[in-house]
Amino acid sequence: MTDENTPGTPVTDGGLSAEAQDVIDEIDEKGVEFLRLQFTDILGTVKNVAVPATQAEKAFTDGIYFDGSSIEGFVRIQESDMRLKPDPETFAVLPWRDGTSARLICDVINTSTGEPFEGDPRRVLKNVLDRAEEMGYEVNVAPEPEFFLFEEDEEGRATTKTSDAGGYFDLAPKDLASDVRRDIIYGLEDMGFEIEASHHEVAQGQHEINFEYDDALTTADNVATFRTVVRAIAAQHDLHATFMPKPIPRINGSGMHTHISLFEGGENAFHDESDQFDLSDTAHSFLAGILDHAPAITAVTDPTVNSYKRLVPGYEAPVYVAWSDRNRSALIRKPAARVPAASRIEARFPDPSCNPYLAFAALISAGLDGIERDLDAPDPIRENIYEFDEQKRQEYGIDTLPANLGEAVDALEDNEVIADALGDHVYDKFVEAKSQEYDEFRVDVSQWELDRYLETY
């Protein structure tokens, strides 16, 4: 007997899959009292429905219904009924509230058709991964999300006053937030996250936690939960954690460098030791696809007005469409690999405000398009592109990323590959939301303008 929604999954006599029964057993063993059934809207904001743990079996067999019209980018009020279908493989006890709450990430089901909802960002990524599987590939991803820790004021509101004076790889006493980072890592590890490293970043109050490689869907699930966990544990230390790309002007912003590799038949499809850079033809074509679609991808991987305050020369964020095996000024870097299985590429332009499901879907889809079109990667740029003038960049054929969110949305509207990856529903809602955001920004008057012009003219 198999689960009707997951072909090949054995089901117990009670109608539960074996995986779901294992979760229910673990709920009893660990004394979990509440389940947080999580999903994201198209902007990447984590939503959750909390149910008593006694409703776990019902959640697995019948699902939990909710009003989809209240969720950004989902449906209109006349077609609002949606159903959450928990994925038992995502069960994890949350590292707070004395271990009495647990997470289950859900797929969203359209109740009118009984099919997966096309506006569910998790479904968007699954569709792209299905395409990769049809081409014979498994996709592994490892992100490096950065964030700032700020002090709170007397009323508990976030400030932009940093909690330490540390810099890149500093130790205590300058890195006063090392205890917070330690608690975050312990919490994540308790949830089953594989953490590779953590350290203080370049800017004061800025931190980075690196994920171990995992399949793209699991990694996207973990990034979504990661942001929630970081904020919650920071709040326990009376600090505010933010993944806003550029909260402080004229210092480095926060990125989410994303390492990607494809595996085929259990072997790394990106590795070729006969190549000068140890990259296979498949890897060259994949990175060429990302470079080719980079302007449109940026709308998804760097999706806020504030994202483009980070993507400026001089603050370690890449703005030039090129790749390198050495320097970090290029859009894509080929990191050193100790063993063949570690051969990968690093997309350096995404930031942590993105919806991880949509961001990974856009990057992977672009790379797969490069493979299908057998694109040739340009020569790597080993010089510091930040030091090039415009004439030299033109000589090298180096384009730049969009300068603002409006230009990025325009590039997305002109790109069928990334639009197809998002699907009609998500594409339409995403473009609508981001166009509105940019229009609101354009008509606003900033404090900088008032300070500059109010008494001058």
432 annotated as ligand-binding? no
H or E stretch at 214 = strand 214-215
Within 10 Å of residue 9's Cβ, how many Cβ atoms?
15
208 annotated as ligand-binding? yes
196 annotated as ligand-binding? yes
**304: three-class secondary structure by DSSP:** coil
Contact 422, 434 (CB under 8 A): no
Residue listed under structure tokens 């998804």:
300
144 annotated as ligand-binding? yes
Q: How far apart are CA 362 and CA 418, in angstroms?
A: 6
407 annotated as ligand-binding? no
Q: How far is CA 281 from CA 30, 259, 429, in A?
A: 49, 18, 36
346 annotated as ligand-binding? yes
252 annotated as ligand-binding? yes
Q: How far apart are CA 383 and CA 320, in angstroms?
A: 12
Q: Which residues pair with 163 in a beta bridge?
A: none
273 annotated as ligand-binding? no
260 annotated as ligand-binding? yes
Q: How far apart are CA 24 and CA 345, in angstroms?
A: 39
328 annotated as ligand-binding? yes
89 annotated as ligand-binding? no
134 annotated as ligand-binding? no
Residues marked as catalytic: 67, 144, 146, 201, 208, 257, 328, 346, 348
**169: three-class secondary structure by DSSP:** coil
Residues belonging to the binding site for Mg(2+) are 144, 146, 201, 208, 257, 346
Residues belonging to the binding site for ATP are 196, 211-213, 259-261, 328
Residues belonging to the binding site are 144, 146, 196, 201, 208, 211-213, 252-253, 257, 259-261, 310, 316, 328, 346, 348
Residues belonging to the binding site for L-glutamate are 252-253, 310, 316, 328, 348
